[in-house]
C-alpha cells in the first residue's frame, strides 16, 4: 500500500495539495479572538427601587428574586448587590457549555414568579434580565470642548443617536451608559408653596396620571352608513414644559384653579444626578460595551468602531470620542507577535535541518511537508468549531518543531540507505520505509494518545487544554500522513545516490560540512563509548534518574503556581474611594487631581473617568469613582520603567499625597468575563445572622491578618458600614390621633426626598420618565423636614415633623450576597515574587486560623477557576502517561519494555520546570499544556531508540550491543529534530513586549524540557532498555531471531 505512494508521486502530491486548499478555506472562515470561549455564561438581573436604601432594597427586592432564581438549571453560583441609590443587581453564573439564551429564558421565568412579591414601584420601573458578561469588552467616551453642551446633553445625544445602533451589533449583551442622565421631566416641588395651596405630592401624582396619558377615544362614523369616518385623537402625553406648567392640580372654587406652575418648577433635566463623567479632562459621557457569552469580541469591537467613525462627522461641533480601553488592541498586537514568531520559528527550524542534512534537496522535503501540516490544520479547526486564538497559534508554533520530525526521520532513513549503496532514490526510499513505517505509526499514536485525556476535562482549563492539544494532535496526524505519502514520494524524486566527492574542489560550504561531520562523528564515537561504560555501570544511570526524579518533585513543590498569566495590556484601572458620606462634588475634585497627574504623563495616551461608581464592586455612591487609563503603544514603551506594572507603581507614588482619597490601581483581568481586576477575588460569608457592622469587623480583622503575610501585596474591600445615615421613626399613635395615615407619610417623604416616578413622556423618538421631587436646596439637610407638610384625613396640611423622629446612625452604602449569604467582596494581588497560587495558599491558611466558625469564604472569578484547574492537572498528566504506556505495551507486546520509555521522562520534565523556575515564571496553564506536549515529544525520542534496538535484537544482536547500536543509529536524527524544535521555540522563550509572559511560559518550559531531556535522555534510555528488555526475556525468553536474508525476502514479498 505505502509503496503505491512512492511509485505514484502525483497521487501523493494531490493529497497534500487538497489538504492545503482545505486549510486555506478554513483559515479564511475562522473567527479571530484572544482566547476561546472560557468565561461562564452569565445572566444579570437588575431592578430599581427609587428612594430606598441598600438594606431595604436587599430585603424587598434582592432576597425575593434570589429565592426564586436559586437552583435554576446549570447554575454554579450567584452574586447580588443592593445600593443606597435603590439599585439591585443579581449575577447568575452557569456551567461552561450551557446555552446562554436558554439560561436567560430560565432566569426570566424564575424572575416572573417573583414579581408578585416585589414592591409596586419596582414592578412599575421594571425588572430587567440580560445575558451579558460582567466585565466590559471596551469603554469609549464622548467628550465636549464646547461648554454649551453639558454632560446631560452629551449623554442623551449618545443614547439617541449611538446606543440603539450599538445594541443591534451581533454579540453585544449590554451597552452601559454610566450616569443614567436620561432626559427626565423634573417637577421640582416647592414645600412652602405646596403647603400654602394645600397640595401634597400625591395630588400632583394623581393629576399627572390623569392628564398626562395616551388615550384611545375611538372614531366617528364607523359602521354608520356614512361616507367618511373620523379618528378621534387626544393630545396624549405632554412633551413641552409649558404643557406641564398648565396641568390643573385642583379647583379652588369660583373658577380658580391651582396649576402645577403655582407649586413647582418644571424643567427638562436628568433622571439621575448621582454620577459625573469626564474624558481627556473634559466633561462627557462614558460608555461600556459588554458582550454576550460565546460572541466574537473581535467582530464586536470592529463593528462598534465603525459605527463611531461613521457617526463622527455628524457629532455636534466640539464633540469627539476616545476609546481608552479596547481588548482588540492587545489582541491584534498579540496575534501579530505570535505570527511573526511563527515565521521566525519556521526559518530557524530549517536552518538547523539544513545544517544536519547538508543538502538543499533534502532540506526542501521537510520545508514542503511542514506547511502542508500547519495549513491543513486550519480546516479541521473549522470542523471542530475552534477559532484562531492565542492557544491555537501557540500550538502551531510548537507543531513546527514536531511535524518537521516525521519528514526528517524519512529523509535520514533514505540517506542511510543511500550511504549503504542503494542505486537510486526510489530503491533507497522503499527499503527505508519498510524499516521506519512502524516507528512513524508508533510515534504518531503516542503523540496523539498524550492529548486524548484532555478531551475529558471541564471548565475553562479544559477548554484551554482542548484547544491547544487538539490543534497539536491534528497537525501531528496530518504530518504522519505526509510522512507516509508525500515525504517518501519527494525522497524518491529528489534524492540521488551519493557520489564520492573526494576529488571535487571544496568550497567553503563543503569544508564547513566536512568539519561539522568530523566533529559529529568524533562526538558519536565518544557517545558510544560512554554508553558502553554505563551499560557496565548501570547504577550510575539509575542513580541519575533517581536524582532527576527528586529534582522534579522538589521543583514542582517550590515553583510558584498560577493559572492564566496577566500580560501587559497597556491598560490601567483606578478605583478611588473617599470617606463615607463624601459628596459627588468633593469626589470630583479628587478625580480632577488624578486627571491632572495623568495629563502630565507622556506615557498616557488617553483616560476616562466616572464619578459616583466603583468599578471593583459595581456599586453607585458619591464617594466612589473610577478611571480607565490607556498607555501608549508597546513600541513606545520598551524601557523597564514603562511597563504596566512599573507605571502602576509610579501612580501609587504620585497619588500617595492625596489627603482623603484612597486610590487603588490595577490592571484588567486576563480573560473577559472574570471580574473587573486581575489578582485574586473572594467573598467572606456570614453563615449566621450578624449585623453588617459585625460582618465588617470580622472581615477587616481577617484582611488585617492577611496583609501580614509576605505573599500579599494588597487585599482590600470597599465595604464600609459607617456611611452617615438617619434612622426615621414614626410616632404611629400621634399620627393616628391627627388623622394622618402612615402611607401618606411615606408617600410625602418619597415625593420630597426620594422622588416619585409618576408617568412618562415622549421626545426625540424615545420615552422618558416624569419625576416629582423637591429641589436639592429644599432637601439639603435635616432641618428641611420642618418645611414639609402632610395631609390628614380631613384634607388639612399638618407639619410632618410632629410624627417623625430622626436619629443619626451609620450604615453601608451598598451590601452584597454570595449564594444567598451576606458577603463582603475582597480583591487583592500577590506581591511581586509570589504567584496567585501562593496567595491562595496564604488566604486558606489565614482563614483557617482567624475566621470565626460562623463565617466562611468562597473564591470567585478567575481564582475559583484556578483552584478547579489545579485539581485536574495532576489527573491529566497521569492519564496521559497511562495512555502512552498501554499503547506502547500493545506495540511492543510487553508490559515491561514501555517502562524504558516512561521512566526516561523525569529527566526532561525536570529540565522544563527548572528552566521555568530559573526564568522567574510560574507553573501556569501555558506551561502545563506545553508539558503535556513535551511528554509526547520526549517519548518519541525514546521510541526511536527502543524501536531500532528491538529490531537489532531480533536480528540476533547481543542485547547491550543492540541498545548501543540503536542509540548510535538514531542519535543524529534525534539531535537534529530536538535542536530544530529548540531553536524553533527560541523566539517564544526569549519573547518580550506584548504577550511576553505567556510566550515565555510555553517557550521556556518546552526548550528546557527538550534540551535537558535530549542531552541526558540519550544516555538514560538505552540503559533502561537493557534493564527492562532483559527482564522481559527472563519471563518470555529471547525474541525470535530473524536472519537478514529472511528480512530481505520478506520485504520483497511485501513489495510484490
Q: How far is CA 48 from CA 124, 163, 779, in A?
A: 10, 21, 21
Average confidence (pLDDT) over 943-963:
83
788 or 5: whose pLDDT is higher?
Answer: 788
Strand ranges (E), 200-312: 218-220, 230-232, 248-253, 256-259, 264-270, 276-279, 282-291
Q: What single-letter DSSP state applies at residue 148?
A: T
Q: Which of 645, 665, 650 is nearest to 574 (CA)?
A: 665
HEC string for 183-227: EEEEEEECHHHHHHCCCCHHHHHHHHHHHCCCCCCEEECCCCCCC
Query: Position of cell 387626544?
Result: 234
184-270+724-811 CATH, one of 3.30.2090.10, 3.40.710.10, 3.90.180.10, 3.40.1160.10: 3.30.2090.10
Q: Are 1024 and 904 in contact (CB under 8 A)?
A: yes
Options 3.40.30.10, 1.20.1640.10, 1.10.10.60, 2.40.30.10; which CATH number does 1-34+337-498 get?
1.20.1640.10
Output the CA angle 124-128-133, nearest 5 degrees. 160
3-class DSSP assignment, residue 714: strand
User: What residues contact 659, with CB distance under 8 A and at least 6 apart?
Assistant: none
User: Helix, strand, or coil here: 651?
Assistant: helix
pLDDT in tens, 389-413: 888 888 888 788 778 777 888 888 8
Average pLDDT over residues 202-217: 91
The pLDDT > 90 percentage for the chain reads 37
**Boundaries of every domain in the chain:** 1-34+337-498, 184-270+724-811, 523-558+893-1056
H or E element, residue 666: strand 662-666
Please, which pLDDT band fits residue 733 given cuts at 50, 70 and 90? very high
Rounded CA gap, 345 and 999, in Å? 13
pLDDT confidence band for 1044 (50 / 70 / 90) = very low
Q: Does residue 207 carry a pLDDT above 90? A: yes
Do 959 and 953 meet the contact criterion of CB atoms below 8 Å apart? Answer: yes
Higher pLDDT, 764 or 436: 764
pLDDT bracket for residue 904 (50, 70, 90)? confident
Give the whole-angstrom CA distance, residue 510 versus residue 520: 15
What does each C-alpha distance from 905 to 449, 549, 877, 965, 1011 come to in angstroms? 16, 9, 12, 21, 12
Helical ranges in 358-389 per DSSP H: 360-383
Q: Strands 756-763, 855-859: parallel, antiparallel or unpaired by DSSP? A: unpaired
**CA–CA separation, 423 and 425 (whole Å):** 7
Q: What gap in Å lies between CA 87 and CA 290, rounded to an integer?
A: 19
Site of grid cell 558502553 = 532
**Which tens digit of pLDDT belongs to each residue from 573-592?**
999 999 998 888 999 999 99
The count of C-alpha atoms lying within 13 angstroms of the C-alpha of 394, restricted to the half-sphere facing its C-beta, is 31
pLDDT class for 108, splitting at 50, 70, 90? very high
E strands of 459-602, at which residues? 571-577
For residue 953, give the C-alpha cell: 535484537
How far from 538 is each of 242, 939, 1028, CA to CA, in Å? 102, 21, 12
Band (pLDDT 50/70/90 cuts) for residue 776 is very high
Determine the pLDDT at residue 862.
83
Range in 447-451, 563-567, 638-642 with the lowest mean pLDDT: 447-451
pLDDT in tens, 642-687: 888 899 999 999 999 988 889 999 988 877 777 778 888 999 999 9
Stronger pLDDT, 995 or 783, i.e. the higher one: 783
Would you state the pLDDT for residue 777?
92
- Overall average pLDDT of the 78-101 stretch: 90
pLDDT confidence band for 505 (50 / 70 / 90): low
Instruction: State pLDDT tens for residues 274-301.
Output: 888 888 888 888 898 988 866 777 888 8
The DSSP result for 842-869, as a single string, is HHHHHHHHHS-TTEEEEE-HHHHHHHHH
Q: Is the distance from CB of 990 to CB of 977 less than 8 angstroms?
A: no
DSSP 388: B
231 half-sphere exposure, CB direction, 13 A CA radius: 5
For 156, the enclosing helix (H) or strand (E) is helix 151-161
Q: For residue 1054, what are the contacts with CB-CB under 8 A and spacing of at least 6?
A: 434
Q: With 50 as the cut, is the pLDDT of residue 1034 above it?
A: yes
Confidence of residue 341 (pLDDT cuts 50, 70, 90): confident
* Helical segments of 485-507, H only: 486-494
Mean pLDDT of the chain: 86
For residues 329 and 568, the answer to whether their CB atoms sit within 8 Å is no
CA distance 523 to 173: 64
Q: How far apart are the C-alpha atoms of 388 and 649, rounded to whole Å?
A: 35
Q: Does the pTM of the predicted model rise above 0.85?
A: no
Contacts of 114 (CB under 8 A, 6+ apart): 64, 65, 67, 68, 69
**pLDDT confidence of residue 798:** 94
> Is 1-34+337-498's fold the same as 184-270+724-811's?
no
DSSP 3-state assignment of 1039? coil
Q: Nearest Cα to 292, choosing from 42, 584, 577?
A: 42
pLDDT at 1045: 42
Rounded distance, CA 539 to CA 541, Å? 5
DSSP secondary structure letter of residue 303 = H
Give the whole-angstrom CA distance, residue 979 versus residue 114: 65
User: Residue 332 has which C-alpha cell?
Assistant: 491584534
Distance CA 862, CA 925 (A): 13
How large is the angle between the packed helices 425-450 and 925-954, nearest 10 degrees?
130
User: Do 459 and 865 touch, CB atoms closer than 8 A?
Assistant: yes
Rounded CA gap, 5 and 23, in Å? 22
Q: State the Cα–Cα distance between residues 275 and 624, nearest whole angstrom.
A: 10
Does the CA dihedral 809-812-814-817 come out positive or negative?
negative
**Mean pLDDT across the stretch 434-439?**
80
CATH superfamily entry for domain 523-558+893-1056: Multidrug efflux transporter AcrB transmembrane domain (1.20.1640.10)
Identify whether the C-beta of residue 770 lies closer than 8 Å to the C-beta of residue 184: yes
Helix (H, G, I), strand (E, B) or coil at 919: coil
* Percentages of the chain per state (helix, strand, coil), in multiples of 5: 55, 20, 25
Owner of C-alpha cell 509610579: 650
The pLDDT assigned to 1054 comes to 40
Helix axes 861-892, 925-954, angle to 10 degrees: 0
Q: Residue 187 pairs with which residues in a beta bridge?
A: 266, 772
- Listed in sequence order, the residues at least 6 apart from 393 whose beta carbon sits closer than 8 Å to its beta carbon are 335, 338, 339, 342
Q: Is 681 in contact with 818 (CB distance < 8 Å)?
A: no
Helix-helix angle 459-484:861-892, to 10 degrees: 30
Amino acid at each position: 500500500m505505502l509503496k503505491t505512494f512512492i511509485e505514484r508521486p502525483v497521487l501523493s502530491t494531490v493529497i497534500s495539495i487538497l489538504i492545503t486548499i482545505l486549510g486555506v478555506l478554513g483559515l479564511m472562515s475562522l473567527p479571530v479572538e484572544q482566547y476561546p470561549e472560557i468565561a461562564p455564561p452569565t445572566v444579570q438581573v437588575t431592578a430599581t427601587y427609587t428612594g430606598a436604601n441598600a438594606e431595604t432594597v436587599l430585603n424587598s427586592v434582592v432576597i425575593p428574586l434570589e429565592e426564586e432564581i436559586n437552583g435554576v438549571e446549570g447554575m454554579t453560583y450567584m452574586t447580588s448587590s443592593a445600593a443606597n441609590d435603590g439599585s439591585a443587581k443579581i449575577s447568575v453564573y452557569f456551567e461552561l457549555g450551557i446555552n446562554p439564551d436558554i439560561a436567560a429564558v430560565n432566569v426570566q421565568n424564575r424572575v416572573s414568579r417573583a414579581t408578585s412579591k416585589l414592591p409596586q414601584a419596582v414592578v412599575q420601573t421594571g425588572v430587567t434580565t440580560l445575558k451579558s458578561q460582567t466585565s466590559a469588552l471596551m469603554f469609549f467616551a464622548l467628550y465636549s470642548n464646547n461648554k454649551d453642551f453639558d454632560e446631560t446633553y452629551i449623554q442623551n445625544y449618545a443614547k439617541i443617536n449611538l446606543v440603539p445602533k450599538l445594541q443591534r451589533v451581533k454579540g453585544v449583551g449590554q451597552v452601559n451608559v454610566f450616569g443614567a442622565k436620561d432626559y427626565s421631566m423634573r417637577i421640582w416641588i416647592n414645600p412652602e408653596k405646596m403647603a400654602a395651596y394645600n397640595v401634597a405630592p400625591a395630588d400632583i401624582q394623581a393629576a399627572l396620571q390623569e392628564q398626562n396619558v395616551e388615550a384611545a377615544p375611538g372614531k366617528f362614523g364607523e359602521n354608520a352608513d356614512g361616507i367618511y369616518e373620523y379618528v378621534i385623537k387626544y393630545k396624549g402625553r405632554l412633551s413641552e414644559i409649558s404643557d406641564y406648567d398648565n396641568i390643573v392640580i385642583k379647583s379652588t372654587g369660583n373658577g380658580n384653579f391651582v396649576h402645577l406652575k403655582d407649586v413647582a418648577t418644571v424643567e427638562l433635566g436628568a433622571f439621575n444626578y448621582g454620577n459625573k463623567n469626564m474624558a481627556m479632562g473634559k466633561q462627557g459621557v462614558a460608555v461600556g460595551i459588554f458582550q454576550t457569552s460565546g460572541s466574537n469580541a473581535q467582530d464586536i469591537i470592529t463593528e462598534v468602531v465603525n459605527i463611531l467613525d461613521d457617526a463622527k462627522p455628524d457629532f455636534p461641533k466640539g464633540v469627539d470620542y476616545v476609546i481608552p480601553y479596547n481588548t482588540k488592541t492587545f489582541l491584534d498586537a498579540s496575534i501579530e507577535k505570535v505570527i511573526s514568531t511563527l515565521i521566525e520559528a519556521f526559518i530557524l527550524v530549517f536552518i538547523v535541518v539544513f545544517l544536519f542534512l547538508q543538502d538543499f534537496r533534502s532540506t526542501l522535503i521537510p520545508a514542503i511537508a511542514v506547511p502542508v501540516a500547519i495549513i491543513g490544520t486550519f480546516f479541521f479547526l473549522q470542523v471542530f468549531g475552534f477559532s484562531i486564538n492565542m492557544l491555537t497559534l501557540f500550538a502551531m508554533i510548537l507543531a513546527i518543531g514536531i511535524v518537521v520530525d516525521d519528514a526528517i526521520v524519512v529523509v535520514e532513513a533514505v540517506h542511510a540507505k543511500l550511504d549503504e549503496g542503494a542505486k537510486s532514490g526510489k530503491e533507497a526510499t522503499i527499503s527505508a520505509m519498510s524499516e521506519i513505517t512502524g516507528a512513524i505509526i508508533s510515534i504518531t499514536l503516542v503523540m496523539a494518545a498524550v492529548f486524548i485525556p484532555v478531551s475529558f476535562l471541564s471548565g475553562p482549563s479544559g477548554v484551554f487544554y482542548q484547544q491547544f492539544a487538539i490543534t497539536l494532535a491534528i497537525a501531528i496526524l496530518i504530518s504522519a500522513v505526509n510522512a507516509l505519502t508525500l515525504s517518501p514520494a519527494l525522497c524518491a524524486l529528489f534524492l540521488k545516490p551519493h557520489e564520492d566527492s573526494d576529488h571535487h574542489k571544496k568550497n567553503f560550504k563543503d569544508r564547513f560540512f566536512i568539519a561539522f561531520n568530523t566533529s559529529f562523528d568524533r562526538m558519536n564515537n565518544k557517545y558510544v563509548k560512554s554508553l558502553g561504560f554505563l551499560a557496565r555501570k548501570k547504577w550510575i544511570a539509575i542513580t541519575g534518574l533517581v536524582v532527576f526524579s527528586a529534582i522534579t518533585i522538589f521543583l514542582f513543590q517550590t515553583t510558584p503556581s498560577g493559572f492564566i498569566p496577566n500580560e501587559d495590556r497597556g491598560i490601567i484601572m483606578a478605583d478611588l474611594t473617599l470617606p463615607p458620606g463624601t459628596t459627588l462634588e468633593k469626589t470630583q475634585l479628587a478625580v480632577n487631581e488624578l486627571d491632572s497627574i495623568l495629563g502630565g504623563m507622556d506615557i498616557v495616551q488617553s483616560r476616562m473617568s466616572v464619578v459616583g461608581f466603583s468599578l471593583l464592586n459595581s456599586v453607585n455612591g458619591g464617594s466612589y469613582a473610577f478611571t480607565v487609563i490607556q498607555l501608549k503603544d508597546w513600541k513606545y514603551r520598551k524601557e523597564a520603567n514603562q511597563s504596566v506594572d512599573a507605571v502602576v507603581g509610579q501612580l501609587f507614588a504620585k497619588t500617595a499625597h492625596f489627603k482623603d482619597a484612597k486610590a487603588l490601581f490595577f490592571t484588567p483581568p486576563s480573560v473577559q468575563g472574570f471580574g473587573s481586576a486581575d489578582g485574586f477575588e473572594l467573598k467572606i460569608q456570614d453563615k449566621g445572622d450578624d449585623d453588617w457592622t459585625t460582618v465588617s469587623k470580622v472581615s477587616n480583622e481577617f484582611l488585617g491578618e492577611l496583609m501580614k503575610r509576605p505573599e500579599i501585596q494588597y487585599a482590600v474591600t470597599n465595604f464600609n458600614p459607617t456611611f452617615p445615615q438617619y434612622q426615621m421613626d414614626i410616632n404611629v399613635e400621634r399620627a393616628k390621633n391627627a388623622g394622618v395615615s402612615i402611607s401618606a407619610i411615606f408617600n410625602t417623604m418619597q415625593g420630597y426626598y426620594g422622588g416619585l416616578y409618576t408617568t412618562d413622556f415622549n421626545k426625540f423618538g424615545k420615552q422618558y420618565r416624569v419625576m416629582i421631587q423637591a429641589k436639592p436646596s429644599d432637601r439639603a439637610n435635616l432641618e428641611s423636614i420642618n418645611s414639609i407638610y402632610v395631609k390628614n384625613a380631613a384634607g388639612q396640611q399638618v407639619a410632618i415633623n410632629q410624627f417623625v423622629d430622626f436619629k443619626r446612625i451609620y450604615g453601608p452604602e451598598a451590601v452584597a450576597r454570595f449564594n444567598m449569604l451576606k458577603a463582603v467582596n475582597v480583591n487583592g494581588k500577590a506581591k511581586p515574587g509570589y504567584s496567585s497560587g501562593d496567595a491562595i495558599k496564604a488566604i486558606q491558611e489565614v482563614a483557617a486560623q482567624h475566621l470565626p466558625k460562623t463565617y466562611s469564604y468562597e473564591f470567585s472569578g478567575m481564582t475559583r477557576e484556578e483552584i478547579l484547574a489545579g485539581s485536574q492537572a495532576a489527573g491529566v498528566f497521569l492519564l496521559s502517561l497511562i495512555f502512552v504506556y498501554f499503547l506502547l505495551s500493545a506495540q511492543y507486546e510487553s508490559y515491561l519494555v514501555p517502562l524504558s520509555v516512561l521512566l526516561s521522562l523525569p529527566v526532561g520534565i525536570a529540565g522544563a520546570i527548572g528552566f521555568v523556575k530559573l526564568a522567574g515564571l510560574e507553573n501556569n496553564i501555558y506551561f502545563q499544556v506545553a508539558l503535556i506536549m513535551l511528554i509526547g515529544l520526549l517519548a518519541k525520542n525514546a521510541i526511536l531508540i527502543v524501536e531500532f534496538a528491538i529490531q537489532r535484537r531480533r536480528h540476533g544482536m547481543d542485547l547491550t550491543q543492540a541498545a548501543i547500536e540503536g542509540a548510535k543509529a538514531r542519535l543524529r536524527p534525534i539531535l537534529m529534530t530536538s535542536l530544530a524544535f529548540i531553536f524553533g521555540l527560541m523566539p517564544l522563550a526569549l519573547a518580550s513586549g506584548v504577550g511576553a509572559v505567556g510566550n515565555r511560559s510555553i517557550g521556556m518550559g518546552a526548550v528546557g524540557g527538550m534540551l535537558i531531556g535530549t542531552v541526558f535522555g540519550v544516555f538514560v534510555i538505552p540503559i533502561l532498555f537493557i534493564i527492562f528488555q532483559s527482564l522481559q526475556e527472563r519471563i518470555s525468553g529471547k525474541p525470535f531471531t530473524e536472519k537478514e536474508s529472511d528480512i530481505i525476502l520478506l520485504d520483497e514479498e511485501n513489495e510484490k
